[in-house]
Amino acid sequence: MVTPNTELAYNTKIEGDIVVTRADAVINWLRSNSVWPMPMGLACCAIELMAGASSRFDIARFGSEVFRFSPRQADCMIVAGTVTYKMAPHLRRIYDQMAEPKWVIAMGACASSGGMYRSYATLQGVDKIVPVDVYISGCPPRPEALLDALIKLQEKMTRTGGTTKRLLTA
Amino acid sequence: MSASAPAAAASETDLLALLQGAFPAAATRPTGDHPAFKLPVADVPAALKLLRDQQGFDFLTDVTAVDWDVEASPRFSVVWHLHSTTHHGYVRIVADCLSDTEPSAPSVVGLWAGANWHERETFDLMGIRFTDHPDLRRILMWDGYPFHPLRKDFPLAGIETPLPDVEVSEITGATVKPAPMMGGPFVASTGEMNLTEAEPRAKDESWNERSEKPAAL
């Protein structure tokens, strides 16, 4: 006698430990939960960045505790502070040395727009020289704002389409 | 500094007498705080050495310069501030640069090694050339920057120039651009108890990106 299968859901006892999903979703999920930041600490925002990495705020909760001081090992440059014109080319070169895929967070008013430094010496926003994914307001922003930006960046990463295609054609 | 350094700071009159003994052109200068003297620029190193060795002014606090005006002549004055770590007195020496277009002053790196960076900064921002300086390069702006930003004829917003790195300039298309000055300089308010009000902001909101700056300003 044939008994009809009444199981509607996935049953690991029958089908084994298999989860079906899309490669894009998995890769984006992996990437977004292990963002290794490149701390580009240039001014007081870097202090809040460090506070974000310490125990009270604990950026490790979002998988980003591995701050890498080598651009070769980092995914996300966090520009924390005032970018002077003298520093700008160095910042761009460090960004160029980061491996793809890579992201940039402009942390605080100075990195986003030059902030209060409307002067001959200050780059009026780091987006003039590198593509920025998330801007954080504040002077300086609190660590929670940085964590919020990181979560927004993770959301952006998981929304990204064509990840697998890009990997295969690269 | 010599062992004969006085225990107390000499009065302005005594210092003037001492300086005039060695440099007849020395004169007092109006001052709001400490004794200040004006000297011919060539006499300055010898005068500073005299003050250091005989009057106990053993610490060079600052070397800076003044740009009086684009039209003024003499246009530039160099200022030296001395302090004594024994009797805690201060003295200020000021000398006009002979040239208004190529201002220069003698270096005092031989007297205080710490003058090195002060003179580099004064050269970088004011364009004063210090003769006999061992390494007169820019210290804040990058090598090859064509202007001296603290001169009166240099706008606060800056002047368009290429980035320090030509390659990055080509890749990004970015240049050093005049900063947006809408609403005037962006400054904090001091003495403001409400920190939100004290935040840096433009003081004159009557003009911005959309409405032109009045010609009268």
DSSP A34-91: ---EEEEE-STHHHHHHHHHSTTT-GGGGT-----SSGGG-SEEEEES--BTTTHHHH
CATH number of the domain bearing residue B91: 3.30.460.80
Residue of B nearest to A117 (CA): B186
- Residue B171 forms part of a structural domain: yes
Is the pLDDT reported for residue A106 higher than 50?
A: yes
- Residue B139 forms part of a structural domain: no
pLDDT in tens, B34-68: 999 999 999 999 999 999 999 999 999 999 999 99
Residues in A closer than 8 angstroms to B156, CB to CB, are 118-120
- Do B168 and A86 lie within an 8 Å CB cutoff? no
Neighbours of B29 (CB within 10 A): 14
Same domain, B121 and B164: no
Same domain, B103 and B164: no
Per-residue confidence band for B5, with pLDDT thresholds at 50, 70 and 90: low
Residue B158 in contact with partner chain A when CB distance is under 8 A: yes
Same domain, B44 and B105: yes
Same domain, B78 and B180: no
- Do A128 and B178 lie within an 8 Å CB cutoff? no
What is the ipTM score, two decimals? Answer: 0.81
Name which residue leads in pLDDT, A19 or A85.
Answer: A85
Same domain, B117 and B18: yes
Using only the alpha carbons of chain A, give its radius of gyration: 20
pTM of this structure: 0.83
Same domain, B53 and B105: yes
- Residue B1 forms part of a structural domain: no
Nearest to A112 by CA among A87, A81, A88: A81
- Residue B54 forms part of a structural domain: yes
| Sheet of strand B36-38: strand arrangement | B27-28, B36-38, B90-96, B76-83, B59-67
pLDDT in tens, A123-156: 999 999 999 999 999 999 999 999 999 999 999 9
Range of the domain at B77: 12-131
Q: What pLDDT score does A68 carry?
A: 92
- Do B186 and A86 lie within an 8 Å CB cutoff? no
Helices (H) and strands (E) in chain A, counts: 7, 4
Count of domains observed in chain B:
2
Helices (H) and strands (E) in chain B, counts: 5, 11
Per-residue confidence band for A1, with pLDDT thresholds at 50, 70 and 90: low
Per-residue confidence band for B196, with pLDDT thresholds at 50, 70 and 90: confident
Specify the length of chain B in residues.
Answer: 217
Average pLDDT over residues B18-47: 93
Same domain, B35 and B80: yes
Query: Residue A66: left if φ>0, alpha if ψ -120 to 50, beta else—which one?
Result: beta
Q: In whole angstroms, give the CA distance from residue B6 to residue A117.
A: 46
Q: What pLDDT score does A115 carry?
A: 86
- Residue B150 forms part of a structural domain: no
Per-residue confidence band for B195, with pLDDT thresholds at 50, 70 and 90: confident
Q: What pLDDT score does B1 carry?
A: 46
Is the pLDDT reported for residue B6 higher than 80?
A: no
Whether the Cβ atoms of residue B127 and residue B75 lie closer than 8 Å to each other:
no
Which of B131, B163, B183 is the endpoint of a domain?
B131
Nearest CB neighbour to A93, from listed B157, B168, B176: B168
Average pLDDT over residues A74-82: 95
% of chain A at pLDDT higher than 90: 75
Task: Please report, in angstroms and rounded to a whole number, the separation of the first and last CA atoms in chain B.
Answer: 52
- Residue B89 forms part of a structural domain: yes
Strand (E) or helix (H) holding B2: none
Same domain, B121 and B186: no
Q: In whole angstroms, give the CA distance from residue A59 to residue A54.
A: 7
- Do A129 and B168 lie within an 8 Å CB cutoff? yes
Per-residue confidence band for B23, with pLDDT thresholds at 50, 70 and 90: very high
Residues in A closer than 8 angstroms to B168, CB to CB, are 88-89, 92-93, 129
Same domain, B120 and B17: yes
Per-residue confidence band for A13, with pLDDT thresholds at 50, 70 and 90: confident
pLDDT in tens, B142-193: 998 999 999 999 988 888 999 989 899 889 989 998 888 777 777 788 888 8
Burial A34-69 (b: 16+ CB within 10 A, else e): ebbbbbbbbbebbebbebbbeeebebeebbbeebee
Q: What pLDDT score does B4 carry?
A: 60
Q: In whole angstroms, give the CA distance from residue A40 to residue A81.
A: 8
Same domain, B63 and B159: no
C-alpha angle A54/A58/A59, rounded to 5°? Answer: 110
Diameter over CA atoms, chain A: 87
Diameter over CA atoms, chain B: 67
Q: What pLDDT score does A89 carry?
A: 94
Q: In whole angstroms, give the CA distance from residue A20 to residue A8.
A: 15
Whether the Cβ atoms of residue A79 and residue A134 lie closer than 8 Å to each other:
no
- Residue B167 forms part of a structural domain: yes
Same domain, B216 and B174: yes
Q: What pLDDT score does B208 carry?
A: 66
Neighbours of B31 (CB within 10 A): 13
Q: What pLDDT score does B217 carry?
A: 53
Residues in A closer than 8 angstroms to B165, CB to CB, are 89, 92-93
- Which CB contacts under 8 angstroms, 24+ apart, belong to B97-102? B97/B41, B97/B128, B98/B41, B98/B74, B100/B72, B100/B73, B100/B74, B100/B75, B100/B76, B102/B129
Same domain, B19 and B95: yes
Q: What pLDDT score does A131 carry?
A: 96
Report the relative pairing of strands B186-187 and B175-176 from DSSP bridges. Answer: unpaired
- Residue B206 forms part of a structural domain: yes
pLDDT in tens, B88-142: 999 999 999 999 999 999 999 999 999 999 999 999 999 999 999 999 999 999 9
Average pLDDT over residues B69-95: 94
